[in-house]
Structure 1
Amino acid sequence: MSFVVVPASYVYLLRDGNDGTEVLLQLRQGTPYMDGHWAAAAAGHVERGETAYAAAQREATEELGITEVDLSFEFTMQRTQGGEPIDERVDFFFTARAWVGKPRIVEPDKAGELRWCPIAELPSPMVPHEAFALSQLGTSHRYLSHGFDTTGGQP
């Protein structure tokens, strides 16, 4: 049996709101994964020969129609689904507070809504590993794990 690790990049656009920091989220629809759940407004697989940083930039343009995204690396997450037969994942999480253009749904077949949400009051349901990631923003953690038999997601 071969072992496959699938890399992905996530972009959380952030802004200051009346109730603290807000994050732009999308409601997933028309996809085979977590339809009806809230998730990063821009995210996707890193393609062969592409860096995680370049993938984040590309996804922000493809999914939100924005460019020149001023990305800040937050952390990497290694995840699995606790014994289910899926490939393991390595996710790279970025935030941005500056970009060019107004974020909009570019792929309406994959996203039903975009919404600015206070990080302290995330909508439900959220994609579980992304809810965990958002709870770790602003911490000093640079490595997270999710879905393994560990406590607290840290090594």
Structure 2
Amino acid sequence: MNRFVVVPASYVYLLREGAQGTEVLLQLRQGTGYMDGHWAAAAAGHVERGETAYVAAEREAFEELGIKDVELEFLTSMHRTQGADPIDERIDFFFTARAWSGEPRIIEPEKCAGLDWFALSALPDPVVPHERATLEALRGGRVAPYTTHGF
């Protein structure tokens, strides 16, 4: 039987209140080979064997932003595909956080060309497409617990 592989990943959207409403911290991707030049979650990455999506989100927040004690709130899961290659089958777990310890900063400059806060109502361009869909749903207050992208 031919089974496909689903690759899990965790995303962390740090949120705060700003002059134009809710703001999200985004990173400008570079040097990764995937969506370089696009804005994306300030912290995100693959879930490693033996860890939960929550643990992966906490780990990525520390590895990419240098922050700890991230108070994660589950936002949504997204099943997405980008084509026929088995590696393109994904399950993404999105979290938000409004509290953490430390000041977010660029820890991996080879992968991150910038880090900035943006109002959900004024996202930069371009944003990684499946992340833009999630952020727009968050802005609209209508995030379903399960979403899909690319089908």
Shorter-normalised TM range? over 0.9
Alignment partner, residue 145 of structure 1: 148
How far 1:85 moved relative to its partner?
2.4
Alignment partner, residue 85 of structure 2: 85
One-letter identity of the residue aligned with 1:15: R
Higher helix share: 2
Q: Is the 8 A contact 2:6 2:86 kept in 1?
A: no
For residues 43-67 of structure 1, what are the alpha-carbon distances to aligned partners after superposition, in whole Å with 9 as ceiling and x for unaligned? 0000001000000000000000000
Q: Give the TM-score, by structure 2 length.
A: 0.94
SS of residue in 2 equivalent to 1:35: coil
Alignment partner, residue 10 of structure 2: 9
Rate the CA distance shift 1:107–1:140 in 2: closer, same or farther, 3 A: closer
For 2:142 and 2:47, the matched residues in 1 are separated by: 25
Q: Is the 8 A contact 2:134 2:143 kept in 1?
A: no
How far 1:140 moved relative to its partner?
4.7
What is the aligned-residue identity percentage?
Answer: 67
SS of residue in 2 equivalent to 1:117: strand
Q: Is the 8 A contact 2:4 2:86 kept in 1?
A: no
SS of residue in 2 equivalent to 1:98: coil
For 1:77 and 1:3, the matched residues in 2 are separated by: 17
**Structure 1 unaligned blocks of 5 or more:** 149-155
The alignment of Structure 1 onto Structure 2 pairs a total of residues equal to: 147
**Structure 2 unaligned blocks of 5 or more:** none
Alignment partner, residue 100 of structure 2: 99
Alignment partner, residue 74 of structure 1: 75
For 1:75 and 1:65, the matched residues in 2 are separated by: 24
Alignment partner, residue 110 of structure 2: 109
SS of residue in 2 equivalent to 1:15: strand
How far 1:86 moved relative to its partner?
4.6
RMSD over equivalenced CA pairs, Å: 1.0
